[in-house]
């Protein structure tokens, strides 16, 4: 078979496989890269509504879908666009049409009761996740988020705190007692301490929301990658709060 025929054959097969998963009415269709922040917010809200209503669709989790992802998607670590012009970056993104295209990045707590894919009713390839107790921001987490934005093309970043967060509670109590948490847990306390210091005598819920806002602000002012994209409205950072009782996520501000 000649090369052109092979290519045509591949395209036909690829189209057939792709069409198998085509979801004309499903906005989470993975073949649509560069979903806008507004659209990404809608997807998260719709997914959380399905979850709270007990009507989860568990999208993109079938064995067929998993096989498709394994066969047809890849990541290109050479694609980091830092230093590229916007035209070069756009071209690079276009070349990545078969890579993963998570529509949102979620920085959330490690808490076992708040897994983002479940509470937003999303599946494989939908969310780019960074999880660390207290949803604090460290360099590795920031690098991961920048990767999600700059290489994978996600345009919405959600910082998700939650009711009864043990990390924030521990930070609050440790700082109040002028103590030190054991081992490396102290690093979480240190990360949350500025929030505790600025919200003295606040209740835990207020402090959890202040901690989300603190991380949101840190991301919005993060140079060199995020701030520029956020200032130009290419990327949006929002804060959210998950209520354990109801399963509902409340978005803390609209920006
Ligand atoms: Zn937590």
CA of 162 to the centre of ligand 1 (A): 6
pLDDT at position 61 is 84
Burial of 169 (0-12, 13-18, 19+ CB in 10 A): middle
pLDDT at position 228 is 96
Burial of 207 (0-12, 13-18, 19+ CB in 10 A): buried
Mean pLDDT computed over 132-150: 97
CA of 180 to the centre of ligand 1 (A): 19
CA of 135 to the centre of ligand 1 (A): 7
Cβ-contact 237, 219 below 8 angstroms: yes
The sign of the dihedral angle between the CA atoms of 183, 189, 132, 137 is negative
Low-confidence winner among 19-23, 125-129, 230-234 (lowest mean pLDDT): 19-23
Average pLDDT, the chain: 84
Cβ-contact 252, 213 below 8 angstroms: yes
- Top-confidence residue, 215 or 20: 215
Residue 117: pLDDT band with limits 50, 70, 90: very high
CA of 29 to the centre of ligand 1 (A): 31
pLDDT at position 92 is 59
- Top-confidence residue, 27 or 163: 163
Low-confidence winner among 69-83, 148-162, 200-214 (lowest mean pLDDT): 69-83
CA of 209 to the centre of ligand 1 (A): 11
CA of 191 to the centre of ligand 1 (A): 13
Mean pLDDT computed over 74-87: 60
Domain ranges (residues) in the chain: 34-251
CA of 113 to the centre of ligand 1 (A): 9
pLDDT above 50: residue 84: yes
CA of 208 to the centre of ligand 1 (A): 9
pLDDT above 70: residue 134: yes
CA of 10 to the centre of ligand 1 (A): 47
Residue 201: pLDDT band with limits 50, 70, 90: confident
Class of domain 34-251: alpha beta
């Amino acid at each position: 078979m000649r090369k052109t025929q092979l290519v045509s054959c591949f395209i036909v097969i690829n189209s057939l496989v792709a069409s198998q998963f085509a979801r004309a009415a499903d906005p989470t269709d993975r073949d649509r890269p560069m979903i806008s922040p507004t659209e990404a917010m809608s997807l998260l809200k719709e997914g959380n509504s399905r979850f709270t209503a007990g009507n989860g669709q568990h999208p993109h989790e079938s064995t067929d879908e998993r096989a498709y992802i394994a066969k047809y998607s890849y990541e290109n670590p050479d694609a980091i666009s830092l230093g590229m012009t916007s035209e070069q970056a756009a071209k690079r993104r276009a070349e990545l049409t078969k890579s993963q295209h998570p529509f949102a990045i979620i920085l959330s707590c490690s808490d076992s009761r708040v897994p983002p894919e479940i509470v937003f009713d999303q599946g494989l390839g939908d969310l780019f996740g960074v999880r660390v107790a207290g949803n604090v921001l460290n360099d590795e987490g920031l690098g991961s988020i920048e990767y999600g934005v700059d290489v994978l093309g996600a345009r919405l970043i959600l910082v998700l705190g939650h009711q009864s967060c043990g990390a924030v509670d521990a930070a609050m109590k440790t700082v109040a007692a002028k103590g030190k948490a054991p081992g490396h847990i102290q690093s979480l306390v240190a990360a949350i301490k500025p929030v505790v210091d600025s919200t003295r005598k606040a209740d835990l819920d207020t402090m959890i929301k202040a901690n989300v806002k603190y991380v949101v602000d840190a991301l919005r002012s993060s140079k060199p990658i995020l701030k520029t994209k956020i200032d130009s409205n290419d990327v949006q950072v929002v804060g959210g709060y998950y209520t354990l009782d109801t399963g509902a996520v409340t978005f803390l501000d609209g920006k």
